[in-house]
Amino acid sequence: MHELSLVNSLLEIVDDYASRESFKTVNCLHLSMGRLSCVDRDSLQFAFDVQAKGTIAEGARLSVELLPAVIYCFACGCETRQNYFDAVCSKCGSGQVTLTGGTEELRLVDMDVD
Write out pLDDT tens, residues 10-60: 999 999 999 999 999 999 999 999 999 999 999 999 999 999 999 999 999
Alpha carbon distance 36, 69 (integer Å): 7
Domain 3-109 has CATH 3.80.10.10: no
Domain boundaries, the chain: 3-109
Nearest 10 degrees: Cα torsion 46, 48, 50, 54: -160
Q: Which three-class secondary structure state does DSSP give residue 54?
A: coil
Which residue has better confidence, 29 or 106?
Answer: 29
| Reported pTM | 0.85
Alpha carbon distance 61, 63 (integer Å): 6
pLDDT for residue 15: 97
Alpha carbon distance 19, 5 (integer Å): 21
Alpha carbon distance 90, 93 (integer Å): 6
